[in-house]
């Protein structure tokens, strides 16, 4: 009975399955970097050269390596090799993903979609920073994998926004289908096109299922918890009237209030430098 409600979402996903995903040149280079990172023989030299070919990506890599999260001592690196060494390959993956996501954000054409994309990016940065802190302090998952998962976790929504102009009214008409299966259908297709690691896909499945293990354990739980704790909600949630609206929530899971506020404070600090490093207009 949801077949026609899902139609636009299915068209989008089917297009993605056929490789019909439009990436800009920035994103093309980013994807080549992504593939190089998958190569076990990948050398920093080679990576540096490829990244240097794209000024936008180079700027992001340098900015992130000099952000508070990666440079607590305040010693700035100014060349790519040093920046890559400092970030490590896992983080480089996240920067690359953020460039792709940001390109999609830039693709939003209608004013409504642009406003939503900006908000979605803010939400993304919060979730990524929170996921990193939660992984380190609560679930003991790989913090960089959690950060990466956070960066890409709204990629399906960004894609929907970038195509919203072609299907007028899709945002209001299909919101319910989107919150049902739609986000997962489109998100899965985009992530496959981006070649994200299986562990991240698995975490995304947990996120889409919505079931948080309490206490949280897996990478998926880390991501879902970050999403639930994020001080900035996804604009899609707000649209559906399921926003928290400042309503009190009590979420307890073997970490006390003091630790929770430490986690939030720590990630708030990171999010400022992250949004500065990853988030300035493309």
Partner 1 sequence: MGAPVATVDYARLPVKEIERHARSVHPGAWAVETQKPLSTLLGSCVAVCLFDPMLRIGGLNHFMLPDMGRARNGDVDSLLSGNFAMEALLNALINKGAKKVRLQAKAFGGGTIIDTDGGSLSIGMRNAGFAKEWLEREGIPLVASDFLGPWSRKVLFLPSSGEAFCKRMVTNMATADVIAREERAYAETLRQPSPTGKKIELF
**CA atoms of 220 and 278, how far apart (whole Å):** 23
In whole angstroms, the minimum distance from the beta carbon of 203 to partner 1 comes to 13
In whole angstroms, the minimum distance from the beta carbon of 167 to partner 1 comes to 21
Contact 219, 152 (CB under 8 A): no
Residues that bind partner 1 (CB under 8 A): 176, 179, 205-206, 209-215, 228, 240-245, 247-254
Q: Which is nearer to partner 1, 18 or 248 (CB)?
A: 248
List all residues 6 or more positions away from 49 whose beta carbon is below 8 Å from its beta carbon: none
Q: Which is nearer to partner 1, 9 or 277 (CB)?
A: 9
Contact 63, 273 (CB under 8 A): no
Q: Which is nearer to partner 1, 75 or 245 (CB)?
A: 245
Coil, helix or strand at residue 209: helix
Q: Which is nearer to partner 1, 55 or 215 (CB)?
A: 215
Q: Which is nearer to partner 1, 248 or 281 (CB)?
A: 248
In whole angstroms, the minimum distance from the beta carbon of 246 to partner 1 comes to 10
In whole angstroms, the minimum distance from the beta carbon of 115 to partner 1 comes to 22
Q: Cα torsion for 102, 267, 269, 47, to the nearest 10°?
A: -50
Instruction: For residue 222, give the nearest of 278, 151, 154, 143 by alpha carbon.
Output: 143
In whole angstroms, the minimum distance from the beta carbon of 141 to partner 1 comes to 17
Interior CA angle at 140 toward 138 and 143, to 5°? 100
């Amino acid at each position: 009975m949801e077949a026609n409600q899902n139609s636009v979402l299915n068209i989008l996903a089917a297009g993605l399955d056929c490789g019909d995903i439009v990436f800009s040149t920035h994103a093309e280079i980013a994807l080549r970097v992504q593939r190089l990172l998958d190569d076990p023989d990948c050398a920093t030299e080679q990576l540096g050269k490829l990244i240097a070919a794209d000024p936008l990506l180079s700027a992001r890599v340098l900015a992130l390596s000099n952000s508070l999260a990666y440079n607590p001592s305040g010693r700035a690196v100014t060349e790519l090799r040093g920046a890559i060494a400092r970030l490590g390959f896992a983080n480089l993956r996240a920067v690359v993903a953020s460039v792709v996501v940001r390109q999609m954000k830039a693709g939003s054409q209608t004013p409504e979609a642009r406003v939503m994309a900006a908000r979605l990016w803010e939400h993304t940065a919060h979730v990524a920073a929170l996921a990193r802190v939660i992984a380190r302090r609560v679930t003991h998952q790989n913090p960089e994998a959690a950060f990466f998962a956070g960066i890409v976790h709204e990629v399906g929504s960004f894609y929907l926004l970038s195509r919203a102009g072609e299907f007028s009214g899709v945002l209001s008409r299909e919101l319910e289908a989107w919150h049902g299966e739609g986000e997962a259908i489109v998100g899965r297709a985009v992530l496959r096109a981006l070649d994200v690691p299986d562990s991240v896909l698995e975490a995304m499945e947990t996120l889409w299922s919505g079931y948080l293990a309490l206490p949280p354990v897996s990478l998926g739980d880390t991501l879902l918890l970050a999403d639930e704790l994020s001080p900035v909600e996804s604009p899609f949630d707000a649209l559906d009237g399921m926003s928290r609206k400042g309503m009190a929530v009590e979420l307890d899971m073997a970490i006390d209030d003091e630790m929770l506020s430490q986690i939030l404070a720590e990630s708030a600090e990171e999010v400022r430098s992250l949004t500065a490093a990853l988030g300035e207009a493309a």
